[in-house]
Amino acid sequence: MVKNLKLLDKALQLLPEVKETVVEPLDIAAFLKPLKKGDSVEIDFGRHLVGHIKLKLGYVRSHPDAPVWLRFSFAENKKEFEERVEDYQGWICSAWVQQEQVHIDLVPGEYFLPRRYSFRYVKIEVLDVSSKFDLIIEEAKAVALSSADDSRLSAYHSENKELEQLDRIACNTLHDCMQKVFEDGPKRDQRLWMGDLRLQALANYETYQMNDMVKGCLYLFGALPMENGQVGACVFLDPEPEVDDTSMFDYSLLYVVALWDYYKQTKDKEALRDLWETARTQISLAQKRVDNGIVRDRDVLGWCFLDWSLELNKQAGAQGVLLYAMQSAIAIAQELRENRDAECLKGTYEVYRKAAKAYFYDEKKGLFVSGENRQISYASQVWLILGGVVDSEEGLRILHNVAADREALEMVTPYMYHYYIEALLKCNADEEALAVLTEYWGGMARLGADTFWELYNPKNPDESPYGGTIVNSYCHAWSCAPAYFLRKYFGEN
């Protein structure tokens, strides 16, 4: 495995400390009752949090003469309590379900669950207890974990109170995903993904401004490439830093964009120089998948992400992501005065851009199509617009055309909606962008979200890409877009 120890050492020194905060339940009286076999209690901590739970246990009647057997279930969303793990038949590992069975030998006493959970609600079921005594939960506390520095977060102000609510939920989402690294989801997958990092970093610049944390994560990806130099889709931090064996065409390219975003925010030229070779390599590797200016289509599952949809053809979107990343690569090369690289990239970009317009654009439909079946999707339009294939005026016409096309494949993740809003803003459609943000993220808020979700399909809110909502993540990094867009483009801030 390839490891750049110099970059890795820099990365680890930049990562923040995780801080602890004790959180009390909303209603202590709700669980202060004697519990027999088969009884249960639900504890609401009032907000989403990531961390541990501590209990103080007591008893009534006779002295305890046997262990207590308990089942703990943790939920970010109460819906998780409605599914039984035994009934889950999805393709992702059921070990992600936040359930534990424990035997507690000594009562009275205190008990600390060592695993980290992501939750607002905790359900405690008494699977068995001696008939000679009843169990009492005298005290329950959560130890919440986050590296986010709340003192750096200023309030967002708007005359529209719904926008303030969306910003608050988005900040909560980012806050709980900020652990030692920017995790994609603190329930699942608990690691650093490149696609998520780019969006988290943007939100961070407008909120917590913990830019060294962004820098450390960029260095981690740079230090831990795959064997061919490609930035992996995600990296693990523990038990030791290591890249996953998963790669995605678009995620690798977004490393280039995230690096340029970071430089624009910080003017950190040392980091730009340190990581330029990694960024340049992503463009070079992507170009190996290009024939006659067009990214080759593939039928390999997961070769390019774009959105959680097995139906989505990725070819046109992949072309757009490549062009989008090349724009950032050109800017980096110019900033570093790597003039030969800059000129070469500019020339190649123009070839790919013109090829994309000729190959993917359907004049009759006024839309981009993708793949041999000429599929029409939001993702294809968005990414080719962001890639600069058309100007803002034509781009807006295309976005209006796809919205009017009932057969167009729609978006299902906040991740893809983020880029849809970015495309609307690029096309100077600020009011439309705000309306989309308010309607989409507002839909989650109206369903009671106190952090934003991994996947939300307004037409099917219970949709899961995994085969069961019990493994869905209801606090997911790529959904913190409102904090970025509202603070940067809308409102007094």
d(CA 258, CA 419): 14
Mean pLDDT of 299-319: 95
Longest dimension (CA), the chain: 83
CATH topology of domain 20-146: Jelly Rolls (2.60.120)
Q: Is the pLDDT of residue 241 over 70?
A: yes
pLDDT of residue 492: 65
pLDDT: is 492 or 316 the higher one? 316
pLDDT of residue 299: 84
Quickly tell me which residue has 């652990």 as its tokens.
Answer: 179
Q: What's CA 250's distance to the chain center, in Å?
A: 15
Q: What is the pLDDT of residues 418-464, one digit of tens each?
A: 999 999 999 999 999 999 999 999 999 999 999 999 999 999 999 99
For residue 482, is the peptide bond before it cis, meaning its omega torsion is within 30 degrees of 0?
A: no
What pTM was estimated for this model as a whole?
0.97
d(CA 109, CA 253): 53
Mean pLDDT of 30-53: 96
Q: What is the pLDDT of residues 86-112, one digit of tens each?
A: 999 999 999 999 999 999 999 999 999
pLDDT band at residue 176 under the 50/70/90 scheme: very high
d(CA 115, CA 167): 30
Q: What is the pLDDT of residues 113-150, one digit of tens each?
A: 999 999 999 999 999 999 999 999 999 999 999 999 99
Mean pLDDT of 66-84: 96
Quickly tell me which residue has 């703990």 as its tokens.
Answer: 72
- Rg (C-alpha) for the chain, rounded Å, is 24
Q: Where are the domains of the chain?
A: 20-146, 156-489
Architecture of domain 156-489: Alpha/alpha barrel (1.50)
Q: Is the pLDDT of residue 38 over 90?
A: yes
What rounded mean pLDDT belongs to the chain? 97
For residue 239, is the peptide bond before it cis, meaning its omega torsion is within 30 degrees of 0?
A: yes
* Continuous segment of H or E residues that includes residue 124: strand 117-128
Angstrom CA distances, 22 to 96, 146, 318, 358, stand at: 25, 12, 45, 59
Angstrom CA distances, 387 to 5, 165, 181, 260, 353, stand at: 34, 32, 29, 15, 8
d(CA 236, CA 427): 37
